[in-house]
Structure 1
Amino acid sequence: MDPALAARMSEAIAEKVLQYRRDAAGWKICREGNGVSVSWRPSVEFPGNLYRGEGIVWGAPEKVWDCIKPVAGGLREKWDENVTGFEIIESITDTLSVSRTTTPAAAMKLISPRDFVDLVLVKKYEDGAFSSNASNVEHPLCPPKPGYVRGFNHPCGCFCEPLPGEPNKTRLVTFFHTDLSGYLPQTVVDSFFPRSMARFYANLQEAVKKFQD
Structure 2
Amino acid sequence: MDLLPDAAPLATKLRNTLVQYHSIPDSEWRVAKRTVSAPGAFLPCSPVCALKEAEKDATVWRKPSEEFSGYLYKAQGVVEDVTNRIVDHIRPGPYRLDWDSLMTTMDILETFEENCCVMRYTTAGQLWNIIAPREFVDFSYTTSYEDGLLTCGISLDYGEVRPNFVRGFNHPCGWFCVPLKDYPSHSLLTGYIQTELRGMLPRSAVDTAMSSTLANFYSDLKKALKTDEQ
For the criterion TM > 0.5, the same-fold answer is: yes
Which whole-Å CA distance do the structure 2 matches of 1:182 and 1:69 have between them? Answer: 26
* 3-state DSSP of counterpart to 2:187: strand
Out of 24, 31, 36, the position equivalent to 1:29 is 31
CA drift of 1:165 comes to: 2.1
Q: Is the 8 A contact 2:117 2:141 kept in 1?
A: yes
Which whole-Å CA distance do the structure 2 matches of 1:203 and 1:28 have between them? Answer: 24
The residue aligned with 1:46 is: 68
Which whole-Å CA distance do the structure 2 matches of 1:89 and 1:123 have between them? Answer: 20
TM-score with structure 2 setting the length = 0.86
The residue aligned with 1:137 is: 156
The residue aligned with 1:18 is: 19
* 3-state DSSP of counterpart to 1:193: helix
Q: Is residue 2:168 matched to residue 1:154?
A: no
1:116-158 Cα shifts (integer Å, max 9, x gaps): 111111102351x11111111123xx21110110000000010
Which whole-Å CA distance do the structure 2 matches of 1:95 and 1:65 have between them? Answer: 11
Q: Is the 8 A contact 2:121 2:137 kept in 1?
A: yes
Q: Is the 8 A contact 2:34 2:58 kept in 1?
A: yes
* 3-state DSSP of counterpart to 2:113: coil
When Rg is computed on C-alpha atoms for both structures, the one with the higher figure is 2
1:99-124 Cα shifts (integer Å, max 9, x gaps): 11210111110011101111111102
CA drift of 1:2 comes to: 6.1
Which 5+ residue runs of structure 1 have no aligned equivalent? none
The residue aligned with 2:121 is: 101
Q: Is the 8 A contact 1:133 1:158 kept in 2?
A: yes
1:51-99 Cα shifts (integer Å, max 9, x gaps): 010000111112212221222xx11111111111121111112221111
Which whole-Å CA distance do the structure 2 matches of 1:51 and 1:126 have between them? Answer: 22
CA drift of 1:47 comes to: 0.7
Q: Is the 8 A contact 1:156 1:175 kept in 2?
A: yes
Residues 166/143 of structure 1: CA separation in 2 closer, same or farther (3 Å cut): same
Q: Is the 8 A contact 1:98 1:120 kept in 2?
A: yes
Which whole-Å CA distance do the structure 1 matches of 2:4 and 2:162 have between them? Answer: 24
The residue aligned with 1:60 is: 82
Q: Which amino acid aligns with 1:167?
A: P
Paired residues in the alignment total 207
Which 5+ residue runs of structure 2 have no aligned equivalent? 37-56
Identity of aligned residues (%): 32
The residue aligned with 2:97 is: 77
CA drift of 1:167 comes to: 2.0
Q: Is the 8 A contact 1:115 1:151 kept in 2?
A: yes
Out of 150, 173, 182, the position equivalent to 1:165 is 182
- The ranges of structure 1 where at least 4 consecutive aligned residues each deviate by more than 3 angstroms after the TM superposition are none
Which whole-Å CA distance do the structure 1 matches of 2:202 and 2:176 have between them? Answer: 30
* 3-state DSSP of counterpart to 1:116: strand
Q: Is the 8 A contact 2:61 2:74 kept in 1?
A: yes
Q: Is the 8 A contact 2:82 2:185 kept in 1?
A: yes
